[in-house]
Structure 1
Amino acid sequence: MDADITIDDTGLITESLDDDDYESAWVDDGTLPGNRYLDRELSWLAFNTRVLELAEDPQLPLLERVNFLAIFASNLDEFFMVRVAGLKRRIATGIAVPTNIGRSPAEVLSSISARAHELQDRHALAFRELVKPALDDAGIHIETWADLGQDDRDRIDEVFTHQIFPVLMPLAVDPAHPFPYISGLSLNLSVRVRNPKTGKVQFARIKVPSILPRFVKLPDDERGLLRFIPLEDLISNHLGELFPGMEILDHHEFRVTRNEDVEIDEDESENLIQSLERELLRRRFGPPIRLEITEDMDDRTLNLLIRELGVTEQEVYRLPAPLDLGGLFEVFKIDRPSLKYRKHLPTTSTALLPAEPGGESNIFASIKRRDVLVHHPYESFGTSVQAFLEQAAADPSVLAIKQTLYRTSGDSPIVEALIDAAQAGKAVLALVEIKARFDEQANITWARKLEKAGVHVVYGLVGLKTHCKLALVVRQESDGSLTNYSHVGTGNYNPKTSRVYEDLGLFTADPVVGNDLTRLFNELSGYAIEKKFKRLLVAPLHLRKGLIKRIKNETAAALAGRPSGIRIKLNSIVDEQVIDALYRASQAGVSVDLVVRGICGLKPGVPGLSDNIRVRSILGRYLEHSRIFRFENGGEPLTYIGSADMMHRNLDRRVEALVRLTDPEHLSRIDSIFDLAMADSTSSWWLEPDGEWTRHHLADDGTPLPDMQNVTMQIISARRRPVAAR
């Protein structure tokens, strides 16, 4: 995928993964049928299959298909590093791994392996048989050494000699040279050489340098083609220069995935940052959990790798070259606009436009006028969230800023705004979640920079990740009164991800929300224990209870013959208590619509259990990331947005927050999102009762169905300045 989400500037779609997502306080009361949940891990693999289907789709722009191939590969890497690694660790150490699907953890692991093998084979086939030929037709060639003529080889020899050879480090394996450490996700060459004088055969390993381009551009041959050769193929055909005087017997590619989970006992840690930094050093030495090899690797070399790495036969994935198709992110970056999605420039939310055309924007005046709901990336993050914090930092009337930071970008204007505010003498509190997976080191760096600038930096509550997306600005108005300006979002304060993640954010000057956030920040930075909020639902204390209460209200309404309905949009749903409540609502006649991008443990459309539940999934150029909860509530809808998925970790081991929307226009916009997502005429995937996802993207006449994200883009781009603001 969570992400929360992992992303880089290529627009990576990935699920947020944690290996501690097994624990649950749920106990089956026996009133619902057994075997009513879908396997959490296989559901994730089904999500990644949907990503792969986008790569296979000839209707999509070609370089976007290349991007989806790379996304699939990167997603699967993280799945092994976290989920598979965590499951194996728990089985090996005897930690109980409860399953709600009637299978043992070992059986689950076996199913994962079988499905992952199928998907990796399909992924390689999609590249070789579908995408690579299409790239050839478009004048973008990924060549092999065998494809090159002598003139090309002579020219590329110069590139190898001057730019690649000096960086390489061949490592021999013999009594004086033990088997080298193989870093996780590195691409390697195994080489067998023979000494012509002694006849002795020896093994060596060459690490393909990640600092160099994965695909080396071939010199122009005056045909106007873009031509590349994989770096490992180029190295493989210059082994004689690395082992002069030796006979090269054979060589193969291989790649290792390691357990990269980080564990910290916060209760025993005197310094959380120092403990985390020690664990990050240990991460790179986690045990191997997957070995990818090229399909032509000989048994002698394979047996050596299996023995030295300590992997099982089940953990070996034999694939055609090239390995590590995540490297295709480099190909996606080629400047060929005609082969990519048409560029979309985000608009400024009409509610945040200056009062007069051409005038200066005053974001505080706009928010004080009425609540503002922004929808990224269709509406600009820069002119909304970023402008909110930058104006707060520069405004002499602002007294204090409080904010949570889960993931942010390397050159973050958000962090810089907080630093500017602190240096201007404002009181600034930053709650930095340094345990955000794979962003730990970046967040530690930001935390230290913030502290150095005078920002009060805290790390939240022991044993909990702070995942909520909150910002609070305290401003003194011209009459001397104080106003709390609040922002509650569904996505991270990250300008880069805001361009590719679909998210919602609410700005409000409502004192009720301001008081709620003030109490919540006090709880996170001090020792306050606040159990009641008015417009917020907060985990871990009562978010699950609050949502289940509202599901039960809809159930009671249906049983009484009153209007009812539930519509939920999120990344993942596996929490048994929430799923069971939805099952009971369906049995009572409540219409339940779920828009789930990733993991779904609920079975829809099962007679007598979930007849009234429909599940759709939307994937596309943007990562659907917003979480929305909408309840009919007798004709007066209750609608919440926020940071929480329906996962054990979100509800039990994270600080999450949902905020209730109250503006009728905002409620109408939310209804429109669901109407579009659930429409049979919208391109989407439908979840069947057996857990299979069926893609519905073509009309009866074979024409593509409308894409939800394109339609949303058109709707928002067509919005005009409100009459009252003109």
Structure 2
Amino acid sequence: MTRPAHIARIAEDDDEQFATNANGAGGGERYFNRELSWLAFNRRVLEEACNPAHPLLERVRFLSISGSNLDEFFMVRVAGLKGQLVQSVDRRSADGLTSGQQLTAIVAEADELIESQRNVWRELRLQLSDAGIDVLGSRTIDEILTIDEVAWLEKQFREQIFPILTPQALDPAHPFPFMSNKGLAVMFDLVRVSDNQPIRELIMLPSQMPRFLRVPGERARYVAVESLVKRFAALIFPGYTVTGGAEFRVLRDSDLEIDDEAEDLVRYFANAIKRRRRGRVIRLELESGMPHALGEALREELGAGHAFVTESGAFLGVGDLESIVDEDRPDLKFPPYSPRFPERIREFGGDCFAAIQAKDIVVHHPYETFEVVLAFLKQAAADPDVVAIKQTLYRAGKQPAVINALIAAAEAGKSVTAVVELKARFDEEQNIVWASALERAGVQVVYGFMEWKTHAKISMVVRREGAVYRTYCHFGTGNYHPITAKIYTDLSFFTADPRIGADAAQMFNYITGYVEPEGMSLVSLSPRDLRPKLVDLIDAEIENIRSGKPGAIWAKMNSLVDPAVIEKLYEASNAGVEIDLIIRGICCLRPGVDGMSANIRVKSVIGRFLEHSRIWAFGNGKMLPNDDAKLFISSADWMPRNFDRRVEYMLPILNPTVHDQILDQVMVANLIDNEQSWDLKADGSYVREEPGDRPFNLHRYFMTNPSLSGRGAALKGKSVPKLSLRRGH
């Protein structure tokens, strides 16, 4: 039986809602709340907008990111909890809170976050003005601009904006129109001059319209489109006196219900995307100072009786401030960075296959270019000896480079299989477009499992070499997305190890034909055996302690939520295993508690790049780092959805050079970073680390030092500063 949409969604994301600890007792003593932990992460993002170490426009970017993050949080997470509450579903989070209790805490924290965003924007706006960038409101246009500049604005408004707008009276003959998700509108109270009759009008701002208009001139002056609508309201409503005007914005439930009985998955998702645009209103943002009666009228008209209503300051939708960051002011941005192309591949004349066959390679994005992944696929498409390509696609974005390479390979007569994940949240529509383009070119497109997302990032190329076939593989911790690869830190691992190739082939057969893998040599897959393998690795460290050897675990990921794994880490801590976790976002584990987690330390790194790679290391009888440590890369975070409802991989790193690069460089650098790191305390607070007299910025380190496995002979004379971990760094 199919569960209702909101219930199914929370179950998909959170089987931890039912979780208790090993002794049958859950609660806040052992776990932090997932939703509040996420809000704490977004608070850290917002704090970077206040960091004077960042250039001014980059601080505006952090503010924008915090706004976009919060929108998605309401559209998905809060919407799911609200659905539980409305449908009287009695479920508790791992920390013991009901849906209602969680929503109360979430809204209180979110309101504080919104107030902080307002204060940060107020300060940044003043600093932008001092730096020569003005963001003008409707009341400051005439104060700041000259008569000629106002005339230019009016001309632009008449010619470029006015024709697009559709004012609508709100009365019994004109019902309130539908507002799409993230819709922004201005409500006007007017009085008709001819008979002094009051009237209320609504103007919705089309989403395709740019949010800001830049006034020509050396000094940058930006005016939001809603401010222009207010300023030139007299042009829209001739014969009326404007007595008031206020902006509001709508967020809707934006997740998709997954019906496991759908007969045609593509058609189902195409229709579901259309339904999402009309989801229930979850949040109504009002301009500060909007009369209470008008706010209540909006709730009634929008059917938003259960929505959360907030006053969001003078600017609604701070995520749109991203467009201001595009201003041509390099002095107010991070210095441009050009990623390196691995020298190892250059030494083989750009032949990716020859370089990979000689030795495994790991590429560290964004410090090393994503172009190497594209080069691998393009070479496979053009190489007459390549007979087959298999590729997973979770988020490919709007850039067609990867898609074009697969199309070229199919058109060249190769056997090409693409596993396209239609359930990649907010990328469903684009993935349907890519799937159609691939099918037209002759690619065999597979959509994977109905109830599981294929989240593993794997590419597999089979090449004829003499009398044998050799398999080349790429395993990524991030998506095949050329844009995010410029700002996300991820690993790309290339290998021609026949054991890994055979495992990859079984994985693809599992997804495309439901053929259960047997005798996998190295790769572990969820939902089959990834969690049990991880638990075994933790148990091995516990056993090392009992045998009188050191026990140590390092793990880097985006989120740690899974109660079973958390409990196993608590057990390891109590046994004496030293555990260091680098968790960028959500962390439900409570560290540093005597008798439970005294030997566990958790930090979060927030900086110029988004830490995204998943790396796990186990001491194997010695303290970390060491050459014999068991080291893995993965596509999975430690969350119930990744273990139970997604196809993910875990891959051991056996090549010594690659092992050293990931463990001694990447992991150590993350642990010793003290310029953009936050430590999680037992009470749930995050405290920014103080650099002291030995500052270290891991992003700066990797931007200025070549990697180990891809550096090649040409760079062997260039020393790379050796990193060392000092406990209590």
* Matching residue of 2:227: 233
Q: Is the 8 A contact 1:574 1:647 kept in 2?
A: yes
* Matching residue of 2:447: 459
Find the aligned partners of 1:697 and 1:179 in 2 and give their Cα distance: 54
Alignment of 1:240-639 (within 5 A): 240-266=234-260, 268-312=261-305, 315-355=308-348, 360-382=349-371, 384-477=372-465, 479-635=466-622, 636-639=628-631
Find the aligned partners of 1:48 and 1:203 in 2 and give their Cα distance: 37
Alignment of 1:1-80 (within 5 A): 20-24=12-16, 26-30=19-23, 35-80=29-74
User: What SS does structure 2 have at the residue aligned with 1:203?
Assistant: strand
Closer, same or farther in 2 for the Cα pair 1:241/1:51, shift >3 Å? Answer: same
* Matching residue of 1:13: none
Q: Displacement, 1:248?
A: 1.4
Moved more, 79-88 or 148-157: 148-157
Deviations 1:249-293 (A, max 9, x none): 211010011001101212x11100111111111101111111111
Give the TM-score normalised by the residue count of structure 1.
0.93
Q: Is the 8 A contact 1:572 1:645 kept in 2?
A: yes
Q: Is the 8 A contact 1:19 1:82 kept in 2?
A: no
Closer, same or farther in 2 for the Cα pair 1:81/1:713, shift >3 Å? Answer: same
Match of 1:154 among 128, 151, 155: 151
Q: Displacement, 1:668?
A: 1.6
* Matching residue of 2:713: 722
Q: Is the 8 A contact 1:45 1:116 kept in 2?
A: yes
Match of 2:167 among 139, 154, 170: 170
Q: Is the 8 A contact 1:491 1:643 kept in 2?
A: yes
Q: Displacement, 1:246?
A: 1.9
* Matching residue of 1:14: none
* Matching residue of 1:104: 98
Moved more, 318-327 or 82-91: 318-327
Q: Displacement, 1:697?
A: 4.4
Deviations 1:98-124 (A, max 9, x none): 312122210110000000000001001
Find the aligned partners of 1:50 and 1:588 in 2 and give their Cα distance: 32
Q: Displacement, 1:685?
A: 0.4
Find the aligned partners of 2:61 and 2:129 in 1 and give their Cα distance: 16
Give the TM-score normalised by the residue count of structure 2.
0.92
Find the aligned partners of 2:105 and 2:239 in 1 and give their Cα distance: 48
Kindly provide the amino acid, as one letter, of the partner of residue 189 in structure 1.
V
* Matching residue of 2:722: none
Q: Displacement, 1:633?
A: 1.4
Find the aligned partners of 1:111 and 1:259 in 2 and give their Cα distance: 19
Moved more, 396-405 or 627-636: 627-636
Kindly provide the amino acid, as one letter, of the partner of residue 42 in structure 1.
L
Deviations 1:196-231 (A, max 9, x none): 3444322221112332321211233xxx31111111
User: What SS does structure 2 have at the residue aligned with 1:605?
Assistant: coil
Find the aligned partners of 2:11 and 2:67 in 1 and give their Cα distance: 19
* Matching residue of 1:206: 203
Structure 1 regions of 5+ residues with no counterpart?
Answer: 1-16
Closer, same or farther in 2 for the Cα pair 1:530/1:604, shift >3 Å? Answer: same
Deviations 1:662-710 (A, max 9, x none): 011222222222222222745310000011111114426xxx9332111
Find the aligned partners of 1:33 and 1:453 in 2 and give their Cα distance: 53
* Matching residue of 1:8: none
1:191 has 2:188 as partner: yes
* Matching residue of 1:683: 676
Find the aligned partners of 2:205 and 2:278 in 1 and give their Cα distance: 19
Kindly provide the amino acid, as one letter, of the partner of residue 203 in structure 2.
I
Q: Displacement, 1:300?
A: 2.2
Closer, same or farther in 2 for the Cα pair 1:302/1:584, shift >3 Å? Answer: same
Kindly provide the amino acid, as one letter, of the partner of residue 365 in structure 1.
A
Closer, same or farther in 2 for the Cα pair 1:202/1:31, shift >3 Å? Answer: closer
User: What SS does structure 2 have at the residue aligned with 1:391?
Assistant: helix
Find the aligned partners of 2:72 and 2:712 in 1 and give their Cα distance: 44
* Matching residue of 1:12: none
User: What SS does structure 2 have at the residue aligned with 1:207?
Assistant: strand
User: What SS does structure 2 have at the residue aligned with 1:476?
Assistant: strand
User: What SS does structure 2 have at the residue aligned with 1:488?
Assistant: strand
Closer, same or farther in 2 for the Cα pair 1:616/1:473, shift >3 Å? Answer: same
User: What SS does structure 1 have at the residue aligned with 2:621?
Assistant: helix
Pairwise CA RMSD: 2.0
Deviations 1:54-95 (A, max 9, x none): 001122101100111111110000000000001111222233
Percent of residue pairs identical: 42
Find the aligned partners of 1:110 and 1:679 in 2 and give their Cα distance: 37
Q: Displacement, 1:508?
A: 0.6
User: What SS does structure 1 have at the residue aligned with 2:481?
Assistant: coil
Q: Is the 8 A contact 1:566 1:591 kept in 2?
A: yes
Closer, same or farther in 2 for the Cα pair 1:681/1:409, shift >3 Å? Answer: closer
- Which aligned segments of 4 or more residues in structure 1 are displaced greater than 6 angstroms? 723-726
* Matching residue of 2:111: 117
Q: Is the 8 A contact 2:526 2:648 kept in 1?
A: yes
User: What SS does structure 2 have at the residue aligned with 1:512?
Assistant: helix
Q: Is the 8 A contact 1:23 1:98 kept in 2?
A: no
1:649 has 2:637 as partner: no
Closer, same or farther in 2 for the Cα pair 1:675/1:146, shift >3 Å? Answer: same
Find the aligned partners of 2:689 and 2:346 in 1 and give their Cα distance: 38
Q: Is the 8 A contact 2:21 2:567 kept in 1?
A: no
Kindly provide the amino acid, as one letter, of the partner of residue 584 in structure 1.
E
Closer, same or farther in 2 for the Cα pair 1:287/1:19, shift >3 Å? Answer: farther
Find the aligned partners of 1:466 and 1:388 in 2 and give their Cα distance: 22
Moved more, 567-576 or 679-688: 679-688
Structure 2 regions of 5+ residues with no counterpart?
Answer: 1-8, 623-627, 718-729
Find the aligned partners of 1:218 and 1:483 in 2 and give their Cα distance: 59
Closer, same or farther in 2 for the Cα pair 1:52/1:725, shift >3 Å? Answer: closer
Closer, same or farther in 2 for the Cα pair 1:73/1:102, shift >3 Å? Answer: same
1:85 has 2:75 as partner: no
Q: Displacement, 1:532?
A: 4.0
* Matching residue of 1:709: 699
Kindly provide the amino acid, as one letter, of the partner of residue 151 in structure 2.
D
Find the aligned partners of 1:630 and 1:559 in 2 and give their Cα distance: 19
Q: Is the 8 A contact 1:22 1:97 kept in 2?
A: no
Find the aligned partners of 2:713 and 2:509 in 1 and give their Cα distance: 37
* Matching residue of 2:724: none
Find the aligned partners of 1:280 and 1:31 in 2 and give their Cα distance: 40
Find the aligned partners of 1:109 and 1:33 in 2 and give their Cα distance: 19
Kindly provide the amino acid, as one letter, of the partner of residue 695 in structure 2.
L
Q: Is the 8 A contact 1:20 1:86 kept in 2?
A: no
Find the aligned partners of 1:340 and 1:562 in 2 and give their Cα distance: 49
